[in-house]
Structure 1
Amino acid sequence: MQTLNVLDNRFSALNTYNTLSTDALVAEGFTQLLFDKRQMVTFMSQLQTTLDLDKLLTIFSIEAARYIDFSGLYFKSPQLNKTLRGSRKAKKERCFELKMGDDFVGTLTYGINSPISLTNFKVLEQLHNCLLYPIKNAIAYHSAIQLAMQDGLTGLGNRRYFDEQLKRAMHNANRHHTLVGLVLGDLNKFKAINDTFGHVTGDLVLKEFASVLRQCTRDSDSLFRFGGDEFAIIVENSIDSALTIIESRIVFALENNPLLSKYQLSCSVGSTFMSRADNEESFFERADQILYRRKTQSAAHLSVV
Structure 2
Amino acid sequence: MTATLIDGKSIAQTMRDEVARDVAELDRTGWAPKLVSITVGDGEASALYVRNQQKQAESTGVEFEQRTYPAEISLEQLTGVLTGLNSDPRVHGIIIQRPLPAHIPVKALQKAVHPFKDVEGMHPASIGNIVYNDLALGPCTAVAAVEMLKTLPLQVEGLDVVVIGHSEIVGKPIAFLMMGLGATVTVCHHMTRQVAVHSRRADAVFVAVGRPGLVTGEMLKPGAALIDIGINRVEGRTVGDADFDSCAEVTGWITPVPGGVGPVTVATLLKNAVLAARMQRDHYAASYAAS
The answer to whether the superposition gives a TM-score over 0.5 is no
Q: TM tier, shorter chain?
A: under 0.3
User: Which has the higher Rg, Structure 1 or Structure 2?
Assistant: 1
Using the size of structure 2 for normalisation, the TM-score is: 0.25
Report which structure shows greater RCO (CA 8 Å, sep ≥6): 2
TM-score by length of 1: 0.25
- More strand, by proportion: 1
Structure in which a larger fraction of residues adopt helix: 1
